Amino acid sequence: MKFYIKTFGCQMNEHDSEIIAGVLESTGYQPCDELDEADIIVVNTCCIRESAENKIWGYIGNLKNAKYKKPGVIIAVLGCMMQQQNIGDMLNRMGKHLDIVLGTYQQHRLPEYISRVLGGERRIVDISEDNRDFPDVLPSDRGDGPIHTAQINIIYGCNNFCSYCIVPYVRGRERSRDFNAIIDEIRQVAGQGIKEIMLLGQNVNSYGKDLAKAGVENAPDFAAVLEAANAVEGIERIRYMSSHPRDFSPALVDTISRLSKVCSYYHLPLQSGCDKTLKAMNRGYDRARYAEIIRQIRTTTPDAAITTDLIVGFPGETEEDFRECLDFIAECRFDAAYTFLYSPRSGTVAATMPGQVPLAVKKERLQRLTNLQNQISLEKNLAYVGRKVKVLVEGESKNNPDCYTGRTDSNKIVIFHGEPQMINQIVELEITAAKTWHLEAF
Ligand code: SAH
Ligand code: SF4
Ligand code: F3S
CA dihedral 36→40→46→51, nearest 10 degrees, is 30
Q: Rounded to an integer, what distance in angstroms lies between the CA atom of residue 43 and that of residue 21?
A: 12
**Model confidence band, residue 309 (pLDDT cutoffs 50, 70, 90):** very high
Q: At what angle do helices 359-382 and 319-332 cross, to 10 degrees?
A: 10
pLDDT by residue (tens digit) across 240-287?
Answer: 999 999 999 999 999 999 999 999 999 999 999 999 999 999 999 999
CA-to-CA separations, 119 to 112, 152, 262, 281, 425, in angstroms, rounded: 11, 34, 49, 48, 48
CATH class of segment(s) 388-441: mainly beta
Structure confidence at residue 201 (pLDDT): 96
Cβ atoms of residues 265 and 411 within 8 Å = yes
Structure confidence at residue 74 (pLDDT): 98
In 3D space, the residue among 186, 185, 160 whose CA is nearest the CA of residue 172 turns out to be: 160
Report the pocket of ligand 1 as residue ranges, CB < 6 Å.
48-49, 164-165, 167, 202-203, 242, 244, 269, 271, 309, 311, 340, 342-343, 345
Taking the mean position of all CA atoms in its chain, how far away is CA 399? 22
- Span 1-30, average pLDDT: 96
Please indicate whether residue 130 or residue 209 has the higher confidence score (pLDDT).
Answer: 209
Q: Using alpha carbons only, what angle is made at residue 192 by residues 191 and 197, rounded to the nearest 5 degrees?
A: 85
User: DSSP of 47-108, one letter per residue?
Assistant: -SSHHHHHHHHHHHHHHHHHHHHSTT-EEEEEEGGGGSTTHHHHHHHH-TT-SEEE-TTTGG
Residue 310 has pLDDT above 80, yes or no: yes
Residue 275 has a CB neighbour count (10 Å cut-off) of 15
Respond yes or no on whether the N-terminal peptide bond of residue 128 is cis (omega within 30° of 0). Answer: no
pLDDT by residue (tens digit) across 287-299?
Answer: 999 999 999 999 9
Cβ atoms of residues 433 and 439 within 8 Å = yes
**Model confidence band, residue 194 (pLDDT cutoffs 50, 70, 90):** very high
Structure confidence at residue 47 (pLDDT): 97
pLDDT by residue (tens digit) across 341-382?
Answer: 999 999 999 999 999 999 999 999 999 999 999 999 999 999
**Model confidence band, residue 68 (pLDDT cutoffs 50, 70, 90):** very high
Ligand 3 pocket residue status of 10, Cβ below 6 Å: yes
Q: Using alpha carbons only, what angle is made at residue 155 by residues 149 and 160, rounded to the nearest 5 degrees?
A: 120
CATH class of segment(s) 2-126: alpha beta
Ligand 1 center from residue 139 Cα (angstroms): 28
Structure confidence at residue 268 (pLDDT): 97
Residue 137 has pLDDT above 80, yes or no: no
**Model confidence band, residue 143 (pLDDT cutoffs 50, 70, 90):** confident
CATH class of segment(s) 149-382: alpha beta
- Span 109-124, average pLDDT: 95
Torsion sign, CA atoms 181, 184, 186, 192: negative
Residue 83 has pLDDT above 80, yes or no: yes
pLDDT by residue (tens digit) across 392-423?
Answer: 999 999 888 889 999 999 999 999 999 999 99
- Span 169-187, average pLDDT: 95
**Model confidence band, residue 133 (pLDDT cutoffs 50, 70, 90):** low
Q: Domain map of the chain by residue range?
A: 2-126, 149-382, 388-441
Ligand 3 pocket residue status of 177, Cβ below 6 Å: no
Residue 340 has pLDDT above 80, yes or no: yes
In 3D space, the residue among 36, 83, 90 whose CA is nearest the CA of residue 63 turns out to be: 36
Q: Of the ligands numbered here, which is closest to the C-alpha atom of 340? A: 1
Helices and strands counted in the chain (H then E): 13, 20
Closest residue to atom 4 of ligand 2, CA basis? 202
CA-to-CA separations, 2 to 98, 145, 161, 269, 321, in angstroms, rounded: 17, 20, 39, 39, 53
In 3D space, the residue among 392, 391, 322, 364 whose CA is nearest the CA of residue 150 turns out to be: 392
Structure confidence at residue 350 (pLDDT): 98
Ligand 1 center from residue 165 Cα (angstroms): 6
- Span 51-58, average pLDDT: 96
Q: Rounded to an integer, what distance in angstroms lies between the CA atom of residue 242 and that of residue 409?
A: 17
pTM of structure: 0.95
**Model confidence band, residue 312 (pLDDT cutoffs 50, 70, 90):** very high
Mean pLDDT score of the chain: 95
Residue 36 has pLDDT above 80, yes or no: yes
Ligand 2 center from residue 274 Cα (angstroms): 18
Ligand 3 center from residue 429 Cα (angstroms): 35
